[in-house]
Amino acid sequence: MDLYEAIRALHEEKKRIDRLIAVLEELQRSSDRQPAASKKRRGRKTMSAEERRQVSERMKRYWAQRKQREQAAMADAASPASQPDPAAG
């Protein structure tokens, strides 16, 4: 292989590599242009004052009902009818 042939082969290889680089750069630019809506939002959602008020009322009702159920369960457990008779045992 003579020197001119080696130089010509290297120039052709350089052109091929330059084309590949251009294609890859275009792919990178097109992936950067994706709409922002497709990206998932991270962090907390902000609530309006009305939404906070609704959540507060809903949680107050939830805890009041839970407290009533617990008190009813404790009253059932404390009633003498539900306790075993020590004389029967």
User: For residue 29, with 0-12 CB atoms within 10 Å meaning exposed, 13-18 middle and 19 or more buried, which class applies?
Assistant: exposed
Name 82's Cβ contacts closer than 8 Å, sequence gap at least 6.
Answer: 76
- Report the chain's C-alpha Rg in angstroms: 38
pLDDT in tens, 18-45: 999 999 999 888 877 766 556 677 788 8
Q: 49-61 pLDDT, tens per residue? A: 999 999 999 999 9
> What are the pLDDT digits (tens) for 65-81?
999 999 999 988 887 76
